[in-house]
Amino acid sequence: EEGFALQSQSISPYTGDLFHETPLALRGLRIAHYFPFGVTGFFMFVDILTLVYLYKISVAFVKHLLDKQEREKKNYSPKAEALILTLDHLNWLPLTIAGVHALNPFSIMTTLAASTAALTNLTVLMAFYYMVLGNRLLCTLFLAVASYQTLYPLVFIVPMALHFYKLSSPSAPASYVSKESVSSYFETISLFAAFLGLLVGFSFLAEGSWDFLFSTYGFILSVPDLTPNIGVFWYFFTEMFEHFRTLFVCVFQLNAVVYTLPLAIKFSERPFFLLYVLIFLTSIFKSYPSYGDTALYISLLPLWGHIFSYMRNTLVVGGMYVCSMVLAPILYHLWIFAGSANANFYFAITLVYSTAQIFLLTDVLFAYLRREYDLYHGTEHFNPDGSKARIRLD
Amino acid sequence: MAAPMLRCLLFFLGMFFFGTNASDEFSEELFIKPLQKGYVYSHFQFTTKWNASIHHQETFQHYHLFPKALGEVLLHYDVQELHLSQTQGLWHHRQWGYPIHDAPPGAELWVWFKPSVKDIDKTWTDLANAVSGLFCSSLNFLDSKNTVTPRWSFRPQGLAHQGYAYRSYFMRYGTLPREIVCTENLTPWRKLLPCDSNAGLSTLFNAFHFHDANYHSLGLHVRPICADSACMEEAIELSQSLSVVTDVVSTSNTGAPHWSLKSLFGNHLVSACPIASKSVIMVQTANSQEPLPYRLTPEPTSVEEVIRGDQKHSFAVYQVPSFTHSGRVLNVAGTYNDVSGLQEDGTPPPIHAHRYITGYGLSDGGISCLIHSSLPVNQSIIYLDILPWFTRVYFSSLEVSNNGHKVPFKVHYVPAKDRSRPHHLELSFMLWPHSTTRVSFTFTRAFLKWTEYPPDANHGFYISSAVITALLPSSFGYTSPPQESSQLSSIFSENSTSYLIRIHTESLLVSLPTPDFSMPYNVICLACTVLAIAFGSMHNLTTRRFIKEEAKAKRGLLTKVKSFFTRQKDATLSEQADAAESADQNDIKEKSKEKLEASNDKPKEGDQS
């Protein structure tokens, strides 16, 4: 709204520091005013679109899971029969996903708040969908739109590059650094860069100057605004010594993206899970996280419902989530409006929330890897003397 | 015949030239205006008129009455006009009318630079530092965070070339609402006067009485003006003013509103400044049609009546030298016959304003300004508001309304940049007759870094006053001298029909959410702990694989002891199972078997992670 008002006075919205949407979004979102129920109607429409795409993703993903399983069945251990996925297991998955998204408190809150995170989520989901379908062009297009909006989806190009390379040469389990692989990566990345460049170029033409770069990307990267949010870094940057600010900003941004490389190496055969883990990681460690990002990864979680039995900390994590969701608004209200609490209270709850997210992520990772191990080595493990053996990370 | 005439001519030329060079004129005036409810407004006006051009370099090489310290600053920083005011207290327009020079609470500095300045922002910062050194105030805090360039307000008050003021390029305006005025500021200001505190009206200065007053303002204004009414030559005018509003009723012993120079300033007036060409005391005796209910002693030298616009103002004028020569003292006093009329509020002036903060909590809020107009015609005004960057104004929420109807307005808005520029909002609209117009907008409060809070963080931050500029058709409550001279006596010969007023509203106090200042180390530790949890787990999961653990050959002592006892229990339980044969013994058997498996599994399950 602020951007629209400033535009109508022909003041560039980027001369101030209040407006951080991209230029094309500024122009594109005007249509929200013309929707049947106004802006609320527009965001309800976006939510319904998200629901539809989630449903389509789950249908396609089920097919993909079964195909992949067929291809790799020969490597599985014979004792792992209980773990084989069948169609009747996965039949209810699309409906579950739709239900989870519809009832997900985070996604309900995002729609109610008319947050533009809903739009970014939608574009990421569309990129995911086209990745499942194997359509490289549309996938990179939507990923470019998502990265154009917020910078962090940039790292999702890695699983996409891996996946499209796999698709182009399905049979050979080639190394990921051979010539064909590099050329395939290059194709994917250059498509993505072309779309992104196109979008940035259009923004420049629309705005007439490069000012918007600082207000949008520079803002995300250099974290100048310290409004309290659900992440853990606003307080960190508030209480930091000026001398070390550049160091910590660099470390913190690096932290958000550094997990890509080791995870890519570990999960090079499983690009979808890699994509999901990266979505999860960026939503925890991005500079201005919000409930909208949480809504995205929680809605996508049932896609891997088959690993839930291997998760260890569900009670603790669930409890932490519920607890922090209930307490966070209360403590924020106490600090800001009632004046009877301190910033520390709210900060503590954001710490709990981030820890809950991290626990959930590591639990999901662990469960996935453990299930893989069981697939290849059978479900029962015994020592040579007949007693049950321990499986541990080493 | 030609030679003596030539000599005469040369002599006169020499006189003229010499005379012009050294012709400074200094005048001191004291203006007293009793207000309603027992307040008395006193205004000291010291005007130095220097018949030289501010644009010439050689002007500032010889000083007579004009203070050298100030002249050096003006020369060095290429200043064409300088206006500084330092004020303690708020001027209540509604009760007191209009002051001679309106000033906001705190310090305000606005400067028009000469066109020859190269880098205005740098010169502005240097000038602010120099002025703060000259007056012992902290004007050096005026930097880009609280300086703006107003587009329509604060036009040049002195002579200026056409086109000079078009875009306000050479002008800067800055204000510090938190600045306190004390004796430290009064002393250097007083030192600029030619007579200092040795003779003249400046002997009446008494810091105790000034700082007891409700409103107390020091003003310094330098501007180029016309040397005479033909305006063939330029002159520089330095106007120093000290305004005080004293609450006579509260500060007197008896509670009576009788005032005198002694009760106001603690001193009789014993002398006039000998260098001054004019030294007068003026008391405004009639504001509108009715005479005021007090009696002046001693009898004034003259009574002047002026019609300004549609209002008649009359003044009792005392020529100070005539009262203070040969050792006599002057104590102008006003004694009231009838105090009942004083308790009423009096008629408010044509335009007055009230600004306040709306909303609750520390996350957002709003500012509303109510502007009351009692004029019978539409009046166009200019409204200037400067907000610090940390109160983030939503331009889309700006509205100007009058009794529910939207008022069309023209706006000039420069949004703030975090930590480098404030919000600058300037509106121009019409006030409808006999009504109240409301200007309102909302803002959200930012969260600052912990080093940016002042020492008393919970006191809050000050938002400077809004400035309302208007050209009034009526002079009700108007006391300022006309444009051409700052001397108050020029009111007597005035014939203008529109009166420029500038109203400063209240300055506001806004609290921002504060972090806990004792926590930097703890915060860094905790945040990094959360990061480390993530990093550690991810590192583990990506660099290690699952392996089946080898059965341990060696076991610790405790495990050995434990397994010894479980083995014993196994032995006894299996004996029981063998011995029993009945159904419940079967039950016991099954139960014991479960126990056996459970006890076997327990250490294993506990280890299996």
Q: Is B538–A263 a contact, with Cβ atoms under 8 angstroms apart?
A: yes
How many H helices and E strands in chain B?
Answer: 12, 27
B607 and chain A in contact, CB less than 8 A: yes
Cβ neighbours of A375 in B, within 8 Å: none
Q: Across residues A138-156, what is the average pLDDT?
A: 88
The confidence score (pLDDT) of residue B602 equals: 46
B41 pLDDT exceeds 70? Answer: yes
The SS3 assignment for A389 reads coil
The confidence score (pLDDT) of residue A206 equals: 78
Burial environment of residue A119 by CB neighbours within 10 A (0 to 12, 13 to 18, 19 or more) = buried
Rounded Cα gap, residues A153 and A123, in angstroms: 10
Q: What is the chain A residue with the closest CA to B538?
A: A362
Distance from CA of A230 to the nearest CA of B (A): 13
Residue among A358, A363, A368 with most chain B CBs within 10 A, to mutate: A358
* Alpha helices (runs of H) in B192-319, residue ranges in sequence order: 207-212, 248-251, 261-265
Rounded Cα gap, residues B501 and B467, in angstroms: 10
The confidence score (pLDDT) of residue B220 equals: 93
The confidence score (pLDDT) of residue B578 equals: 59
Residue among A11, A17, A284 with most chain B CBs within 10 A, to mutate: A17
B400 band by pLDDT with thresholds 50, 70 and 90:
very high
Least confident window among A174-183, A261-270, A361-370:
A174-183
Q: What DSSP string runs through B438-498?
A: EEEEEEEE----GGGS-SSGGG-EEEPPPEEEEEES--TT-----TT---GGGGGG---S-
The confidence score (pLDDT) of residue A89 equals: 73
Cis peptide before B298 (omega within 30 of 0): yes
Q: Tokens 């209910």 identify what position? A: B293
Closest CA to B460 of B519, B513, B416: B513
Q: What proportion of chain B, given as a percentage, has pLDDT over 90?
A: 25
Q: What are the structure tokens assigned to A380, written together?
A: 């029962």
φ, ψ for residue A216, nearest 5 deg: -100, -65
Query: Cβ(B125)–Cβ(B147) under 8 Å?
Result: no
Q: Is A236–B524 a contact, with Cβ atoms under 8 angstroms apart?
A: yes
| Paired sense of beta strands B24-34 and B278-286, if any | parallel
Q: What would the pLDDT profile of B437-473 be if each residue is shown by its tens digit?
A: 999 999 988 888 888 888 888 888 999 999 999 998 8
Residue among A238, A253, A387 with most chain B CBs within 10 A, to mutate: A238
Rounded Cα gap, residues B74 and B80, in angstroms: 8
The SS3 assignment for B289 reads coil
B551 and chain A in contact, CB less than 8 A: yes
Cβ neighbours of A224 in B, within 8 Å: 418-419
Query: Cβ(A255)–Cβ(A261) under 8 Å?
Result: no
Closest CA to A23 of A192, A208, A154: A208
Q: Which of residues 167-226 of A touch B (CB under 8 A)?
A: 224-226
Picking from B417, B451, B546, the nearest residue to A393 by CB comes out as: B546
Question: Nearest 5°: CA angle at B568, between B562 and B570?
Answer: 105
* Domain boundaries of chain B, sorted by first residue: 22-343, 352-463
Q: Across residues B190-219, what is the average pLDDT?
A: 85
The SS3 assignment for B87 reads strand
Distance from CA of A191 to the nearest CA of B (A): 30
**What single-letter amino acid sits at A262?**
P
Q: What are the structure tokens assigned to A193, written together?
A: 């860069």
Distance from CA of B295 to the nearest CA of A (A): 56
Cβ neighbours of A262 in B, within 8 Å: 538-539, 542-543
Average pLDDT of every residue of chain B: 82
Q: What is the chain B residue with the closest CA to A2?
A: B396
Least confident window among A380-394, B72-86, B171-185, B250-264:
A380-394
B15 pLDDT exceeds 60? Answer: no
Number of A to B CB contacts under 8 A, please give it. Answer: 178
Q: Is A232–B449 a contact, with Cβ atoms under 8 angstroms apart?
A: no
Q: What are the structure tokens assigned to B107, written together?
A: 């310090």
Q: What are the structure tokens assigned to A15, written together?
A: 């001369």
Q: Is A388–B601 a contact, with Cβ atoms under 8 angstroms apart?
A: yes
Rg of chain B (C-alpha set) = 38
Q: How far is CA A58 from CA A64, A124, A162, in A?
A: 10, 15, 20
A48 and chain B in contact, CB less than 8 A: no
Rounded Cα gap, residues B609 and B607, in angstroms: 6
B368 pLDDT exceeds 90? Answer: yes
B552 and chain A in contact, CB less than 8 A: no
Q: Is B447–A238 a contact, with Cβ atoms under 8 angstroms apart?
A: yes
Cβ neighbours of A358 in B, within 8 Å: 530, 533-534, 537
Cβ neighbours of B392 in A, within 8 Å: 17-18
Closest CA to B282 of B107, B481, B541: B481
Which residue would you say has higher pLDDT here, B480 or B601? Answer: B480
Q: Which of residues 145-204 of B touch A (CB under 8 A)?
A: none
Least confident window among A107-121, A334-348, B42-56, B379-393:
A107-121
φ, ψ for residue B455, nearest 5 deg: -55, -40
Q: What DSSP string runs through B18-46?
A: HHHHT-EEEEEEEEEEE-GGGEEEEEEEE
A168 pLDDT exceeds 60? Answer: yes
B385 band by pLDDT with thresholds 50, 70 and 90:
very high
Q: What is the chain B residue with the closest CA to A237?
A: B449
Strand partners, A226: none
Q: What are the structure tokens assigned to A272, written together?
A: 């979808």
The SS3 assignment for B78 reads coil
Third-level CATH fold of B352-463: Immunoglobulin-like (2.60.40)
Question: Nearest 5°: CA angle at B281, between B276 and B285?
Answer: 155
Query: Cβ(B137)–Cβ(B76) under 8 Å?
Result: no
Picking from B393, B527, B546, the nearest residue to A370 by CB comes out as: B546
Q: What DSSP string runs through B363-431?
A: SEEEEEEEEEE--SS-EEEEEEEEE-TTEEEEEEEEEEEETTEEPPEEEEEE--BTTTB-EEEEEEEEE
A170 pLDDT exceeds 70? Answer: no
Q: Is B417–A17 a contact, with Cβ atoms under 8 angstroms apart?
A: yes
Local structure of residue B75 (DSSP, 8 states): H
Query: Cβ(B32)–Cβ(B317) under 8 Å?
Result: no
Query: Cβ(B490)–Cβ(B482) under 8 Å?
Result: yes
* Alpha helices (runs of H) in chain A, residue ranges in sequence order: 2-8, 23-28, 39-72, 87-90, 93-103, 105-112, 117-133, 136-149, 157-168, 179-207, 212-213, 219-222, 233-238, 245-258, 260-266, 271-285, 291-300, 314-333, 343-377
Q: What are the structure tokens assigned to B57, written together?
A: 């370099």
Strand partners, B478: none
Rounded Cα gap, residues B6 and B547, in angstroms: 121
Picking from A226, A336, A389, the nearest residue to B548 by CB comes out as: A389
Rounded Cα gap, residues B100 and B480, in angstroms: 4
Q: Would you say how long chain A is, in residues?
A: 394
Local structure of residue A267 (DSSP, 8 states): T
* Alpha helices (runs of H) in B505-582, residue ranges in sequence order: 520-543, 557-579
Question: What are the contacts of A312-321 at 24+ separation with CB within 8 A?
Answer: A312/A363, A312/A366, A312/A367, A313/A359, A313/A360, A313/A363, A314/A363, A316/A359, A317/A356, A317/A359, A317/A360, A317/A363, A320/A352, A320/A353, A320/A355, A320/A356, A320/A359, A321/A353, A321/A356, A321/A360
Rounded Cα gap, residues B50 and B55, in angstroms: 13
The SS3 assignment for B101 reads coil
Rounded Cα gap, residues B355 and B370, in angstroms: 6
Q: Which of residues 342-381 of B touch A (CB under 8 A)?
A: 360-363
Q: What DSSP string runs through B140-192?
A: GG-STTSEE--SSSS--SS---TTTTSS-TTEEEEEETT----HHHHHHHHHT
The confidence score (pLDDT) of residue B20 equals: 46
Q: Is B448–A238 a contact, with Cβ atoms under 8 angstroms apart?
A: yes
Q: What is the chain B residue with the closest CA to A238?
A: B449
Q: Is A390–B362 a contact, with Cβ atoms under 8 angstroms apart?
A: no
Q: What are the structure tokens assigned to B225, written together?
A: 């003006």
The confidence score (pLDDT) of residue B580 equals: 52
Give pTM, 2 decimals.
0.81
Cβ neighbours of A387 in B, within 8 Å: 551, 600, 604
Rounded Cα gap, residues A63 and B268, in angstroms: 103
Rounded Cα gap, residues B75 and B419, in angstroms: 32
The SS3 assignment for A379 reads coil
Lateral strand order in the sheet of B423-431? B409-414, B423-431, B379-387, B467-472, B499-504
Distance from CA of A58 to the nearest CA of B (A): 27
The confidence score (pLDDT) of residue B572 equals: 63
B606 pLDDT exceeds 50? Answer: no
A262 and chain B in contact, CB less than 8 A: yes
B/e letters for A346-370, b = 16+ CB within 10 Å, e = fewer, are: bbbbbbbbbbbbbbbbbbbbbbbbb
Contacts of residue A338, Cβ cutoff 8 Å, sequence gap at least 6 = none
Q: Across residues B286-307, what is the average pLDDT?
A: 73
Q: What proportion of chain B, given as a percentage, has pLDDT over 70?
A: 86
